[in-house]
Amino acid sequence: MRRPSILDVVRAVTVVAPRHPQVITWWYRPVSPFRLQGEPGTPAEPAPAVEVVVMLRDGRATNWDAVASELSGHLAGAAVRVRAHRGAEAEGHLVRVLSAPSGAS
């Protein structure tokens, strides 16, 4: 199975985001090496899960597994992991994919 590219992730987030107004920002955490094109995984080593990091509106909650499942459905069934942004803690390299417009609720 082909590993999703960053462009695949951007498309999936763009489709899924409107159903999750509690999320104000979506990031993608690329695996090394950073790629623009998907590449086939090797049979001995499964592709790592696509990691999506989100920032929620204050006081809001979300079902991480449901969001991951929706994204996976738009990424040809690739494994997806969704988690909350950790703020100032060490995050590694994140690529901002989408932010909610100012004033959106």
The predicted model scores a pTM of 0.80
Task: Return per-residue pLDDT of the chain as tens, 105 residues.
Answer: 578 999 999 999 999 999 999 999 999 998 765 455 555 555 556 678 999 999 998 878 889 999 999 999 999 999 999 999 887 776 678 999 999 876 655
DSSP states along 28-53: EEPPSSP-SS--BPBTTBPPPPEEEE
| Strand ranges for the chain from DSSP E | 23-29, 50-56, 80-84, 95-99
Q: What's the length of the chain?
A: 105
